[in-house]
Chains A and B, each alone.
With several copies, the nearest count.
Chain A
Amino acid sequence: MQCTVTSIQSLAAGFFHLSLTPEKPLGPITPGQFVMIRCGESTDPLLRRPMSVADFEADGSRLGLLVQIAGRGTGTISRLDKGDQLDLIGPFGQGYSVPPEARTIVIVAGGTGVAPFMTLTPTLVSQGKDVHVLLGARTKELLLMEEWFLHAGASLHVATDDGSKGFDGLVTALMMERLDHMEEPPDMALACGPAGMMRAVAALAEHNNIPCQVSLENSMACGFGACLGCVAHVRGEKRYVTVCRKGPVFDSREVLI
């Protein structure tokens, strides 16, 4: 699907936000789902790159991506200009699913892991839930979308590895601290970020008996279940599931992270 770039904005060194209008609406999107973007027309790089849908219109008539420049593919995308075309397919996968009865939600996001929560947070808040957003980054400048979450009506806490802002340390340490502060444990934890962080959040949640959903970032060749390249191990079984189709969001107890 060809999309027109309607804006491209640098957020911090190496991070940018891309706003896209598809030729035709993509259809309904769930936060946590992703699209597969083509980085140029050449066969090198060959494969599409997976990107979580960040902000979006409910019918998929507009979507935003939060991109970290990680290599050649994302580098190419970062040089797009307003008006340029971007080829993507999707949305794919299973997003976050928060049961109606969950009242208190802790969201833990690192780096571009904030993307899926940009639309989810205001939705949960509007449902009357008590939403705690914990954002982590290496340093103050790399905290993404702080303003957005402030405006979304969530209670926001930030952590920086170098202590330049908010909690001094990893966002998972901040999570531990917040859990101690809360009178009741939250009903649910939702997390998105690097694998190491996912593991730590999952362990913490499990330890505290909190249902937890994590998003995995396995390498993907197709994104729609055809290559079997992206699989994760099902916990306690000799069996794999495709991250692109059954995930990328999983119950943290379901898969080996």
Chain B
Amino acid sequence: MDLNVDFAGIKLKNPLVGASGTFGYGLTYEKFFDLSLIGGFCTKGLSMKPREGNPTPRICETPSGMLNAIGLQNVGYEKFATKKMPKLRKISTAVIANFFGETMEEYIELAAKLDALEGIHGLEMNISCPNVEKGGAAFGTDIRVTEAVVKGCRAVVKNKPLIVKLSPNVADIAEFARACEGSGADGLSVINTLVGMAIDIKNRKPILANVTGGLSGPAIRPVAVRMVWQCYKAVKIPIFGIGGVASAKDVVEFIMAGASAVQVGTMNFVSPDIIPQLAEELPELLVRLGAASVSELVGVAHGG
């Protein structure tokens, strides 16, 4: 069974990739399995400077999902490049650097650095984070800002595929997909978390210290599949399907909706070896579905 996927030039040995923020810098999972078994992973979202993230509580379980308000805690570019990369270069798996900035300049500066960093196979721009220059609304919910930041990064990212991770908190995701494609993106990641919240009724206040958080897990899968479907209709660049993947069936669901590969997030917390497990189960399911490769199923649910 051919599980290989060429995702915008990134060679994945299977279509299963660890999602940003749920996979650390990869090494956390080494105690559970051999990282070379998986297609690749996206790093925890990187910023120029280290960030300590939000106060606690940062997480909260919800029906078939969870809320997180980690606040983009990360070690920062320098430490990532000097402490994590040397180890990651030795592992035969695709390393995709997820990154963000608080300002347009920070995005561009970091994109340029990551583009030059040896051992990084692709860049994934997280545009769901607050734009401090624009009063804190997410970059990725304003179409003009999205275009500007993608174009800005595109101009400096010359060696590696540039993937844009879309925010689902918009009315028309297809419009954003087209804007990213038009601004030079090589691929899309669909979707980031939905904004949600929960209340601590005993203490009469939001559970999360940050008030709102990102909803992830199986609960959001129907929304994610729909958005992948819409993006597939809208653009020609490949799409990572993300949101609640928990079984080989779910992987195929995203692929048939139009994803070239999928990312697994929250379920890594529940079953840390879920990605290699899915890689093992996938071929059998594909055979049962009469498919000889992953690629022949991409978007088939859209019909002829």
Contact = CB atoms under 8 A, between A and B. Distances in A.
Whether A and B touch (Cβ < 8 Å) is answered with yes
A180 interface: no
B24 interface: yes
**Interface of A (DSSP majority class):** loop
Q: Can you list the 9 inter-chain pairs with the closest CB atoms, starting with the nearest?
A: A229-B59, A222-B269, A43-B64, A43-B218, A44-B64, A221-B269, A43-B63, A229-B58, A228-B70
A240 B73 contact: yes
A224 B58 contact: no
B64 A231 contact: no
B225 to A, nearest CB: 16
A67 to B, nearest CB: 18
B28 A224 contact: yes
16 contacts: A43-B63, A43-B217, A44-B63, A45-B61, A46-B65, A46-B266, A218-B56, A219-B57, A226-B23, A226-B29, A228-B21, A228-B44, A229-B58, A230-B59, A239-B52, A240-B73
A238 B52 CA distance: 7
Given A43-B246, A231-B56, A226 B28 contact: yes
Contacts of B31: 224
Contacts of A231: 53, 56, 58, 73
Contacts of B64: 43-44, 46
B68 interface: yes
Q: Chain B interface secondary structure, helix, strand, loop or mixed?
A: loop
A227 B56 contact: no
Interface of A: 38, 43-48, 89, 218-233, 238-240
B164 interface: no
B45 to A, nearest CB: 11
Contacts, number: 86
B63 A228 contact: no
Interface of B: 21-24, 28-29, 31, 44, 52-53, 55-61, 63-66, 68, 70, 73, 217-219, 246, 266, 268-270, 272
Given A226-B269, A230-B58, 19 more contacts: A43-B64, A43-B217, A44-B64, A45-B61, A46-B270, A47-B66, A219-B57, A220-B59, A226-B28, A226-B272, A227-B21, A227-B59, A227-B68, A227-B269, A228-B44, A228-B73, A229-B58, A229-B59, A240-B73
Contact of A47 (B28, B56, B61, B219): B61
Given A43-B246, A225-B28, A48 B58 contact: no
A255 to B, nearest CB: 11
A46 B28 contact: no
Given A47-B269, A240-B73, A226 B24 contact: yes
